[in-house]
A and B are shown apart, each in its own frame.
Chain A
C-alpha cells in the first residue's frame, strides 16, 4: 500500500483500533485532516479549544484504560494543548498527542505558527518525537502508542512537520503493532525474594494498613487487590486517584487518606506498624509533614516506576513491578501452609477495635437541616440516585473534595479527576471523552462556578455530538478552595476569590440547546436530580446555589502530621 503521510496517520489510527480522535484543525494539519476524511473506523470529535481535546482524550483513556488520542495544529494549537498534556502526565494517563509543525525546511526560522513543540512539552511528557522524514512516521507512531500505554503510562507527543504529510509524496506502508526498543524495558515481574520478604512482614504485622493509589486503577488490579485485602482482613485506605479500585461500601475500607481524608484513615496511617503502599506515590497532599509520616511503620512499596520508590519517603521493602503481578504472587504465596494468615489474632482484633473507635467520630458529619443547600448533601443525593455504573468526573476545588468524600465509588475507572496537576477546566471535556466511550452510561460532571467557566465553550461540542452529560454545578459564588485557605491562613482576607458577574447558567445552557435548572433549596435537591437524570438523552446543567462559606473537613493543614487533622467544629454539626 502506497500512502502519503496524512494517509499513513489515518490508516495507522484505523489499524491501531483508535475509536475517537479529539482535535481541532489548522494550517499545519490540513493535510492530515484531508486524509482523515477517509478513515472510517476512527471518529473525529471537533472540540472548541485544544485544551479540551487533550482532556477529552484523557477522560476517554481514564474510563477505558485505552490510549486517548488528540490532534492539534502547530503553534497556538499546540500551546493550548499543553495544560491537558501536563494534566495527563502528572496522573500517568496514556495519551498520544499529534501536533502539526511547520515544514522541516523552515523549522527554526520563527515561521508562521511555529513553536518548539518538542522543547515546550519535554518536561511534561513521557517522551516526544519530531518526525523529520515520512519514512520514520509509521514506526514513530508505533513507538508512541507503545510508550504511552506500557510501564508507567503517560502522554507522548508526536510533532509532524507539514511536508511530512505532503499528499504528493507516497511511500509503502505496513502496520506494525509492536516494537522492541533497546532503551526501554519496563519491569513487570516483581522480585520473588522481595515479595516473600514483604509478605512475611505483613503476616507479622499487628497494625497493618494498605495505602493504595492510582497505580491499582492504571494496572487493572482491583480484583486481585480485593481478594488479597479480604484474605488478610487488613484495613485499606486509598488516595484520591485510587478511589473505586476497592469498593467504598466494604467494611474494611477506611475512606480516602491525606489532607482531606477521613479521621480513621489518617489515624490508622499514623499508628500503623506495617504500611503496604500499592501503586501510590507518597504525594505531599497524602503524607502531610514528612517528619510525622507513619512514625512507627515499616514500609513496603509496590510500584512499577523505580523513581517513585524512596523519592520522598524512604521505604524498607521496595518491590518494583506491575501491581497486579506482584499482588497475584502474594496471593499464591499465601496458599503455602507456612504463610498462615492470623487475622483473628488478638493483635488484629485490637487493631480493628481501635479503628472502630476512630470511626465513631463520624468525621464526615455535617448539618443536613439547613435550608441553604449543603454541597455535601448534593453529592450524597447524587450517590443515592445513580448506580455503581455511573461515571463521575470533577473539576478542581472544594466540590472535587466533596465528591471524593461523599460519593461512594464501587468500581475502578468511574472516578475521573485531575489530582496531580489539579487542573480547573478538566471536568467537562473529560466527561465528553467518558460519555463517548460509554454512550449508554450515566456521566455526571461535578464542578464549581469557577472551574466550569474555564472550558464552558465545550457545551457546544456536547451539543454537536449530543452528549447527555449531567453537570452538577456546586455554585458557591466563590473560588471556594481558595477562599477556605484565605479564611484559615490569611485571616479571612478574601483576595480575588470572590466570583463577581456570574452568568445565568440556565440561560447559558439553553443557548446551547441544553436543559438548564436552578436549585436553591435543600428540599428541592433530590427532585431536581431525579428529574435531570431522567432526561436520558439531554445534557442538563443543574446550578445548585449552595452554601457560600462551606469548608472542606477534615483537613490537615500544610506542615502538619496525620494525627493533627482538624475536624469540622461542633457548631457546624448539630
Chain B
C-alpha cells in the first residue's frame, strides 16, 4: 500500500488515509467483507442505518434489477442502537479505519437520541445523518426534502453530537442546493450525496409492481450522472467537504466525483458485484495520480 499520503483527505476532524469509503447498507458492518479485502486499506466504512428501536424492515420482495442498476426497499431493517453499541461496536471498534454510523429515525427526537448514544462511542469519529431514505413511511426522506425540516433536524442533532456530522442528502428534490445550505447553516460538517433515487419497476406479464412497497430506491451505475450533477451544483455553492455517492463502479468514476468537487467518495452497489472493488479503487486512484503526475489528490478537487 502507498504510504506517501497523496490520497489522504480530511472531513472536519476525521482524517482518511484515502478518499474511499463504503456506502451504508451495502457493506454490512464491514466484517462481512474481510474474506475479500483488508478493511484497514480503506478511508472509512459507513455501517448500516441505525434507528432507536429494532426495525423489521419492509416485506419481501425488496429488490428488482433494472438497466445498469437496482431498486431496493429494505426499509431500514436493523436491531436498534443499543444492540449496535453493546454488540457490534465491540467487533469493529479496533479497525484501523474510520467507522461511521448512519443514523436514521422517524421523528426528530429519535435522530437526536440515536446520535447522543453514538456520541459516547470513543472510536466512532463521525455519524452520517440519513435524512433521505425513500423507503420508510415516516421520517427519512420527509426530513431531507424540505429545507426547514432539514435545518431543524440537523440543528437538533448538532447540539447532541460533537464529533464530525455528515448529512446525507436526497436527490429527490427540486433544488438540492437549498437543502444543502440549510444543512450547512444548521451546523453540518460535511454533506454526502446522493441517497437513492425514488423509482419503480413493473412486471408486465403479471401486471404487478416488482417491489412489495411499489416504489423503492434506485442505485448502481445508472444513477451516476445524477449524482455527479448534484455534487457539482452543491460544491459550487457551499463550503462544506462533500462525499460523493452514486454509481461508482471503478476508479475512473471515483476520480470524476473528485473533479466535480468531492473530497471523498462512497462505494455502494458495486460492492455486490465485486466484493474487493473498494481496494481496487484505492489502487486505481493511486495509479491515476501517478499517470498524471499529480502530487496530491486535492490538486484536482473541484477543477470542473
Question: Do A and B assemble together?
Answer: no
Which residues of A are interface residues toward B (Cβ below 8 A)? none
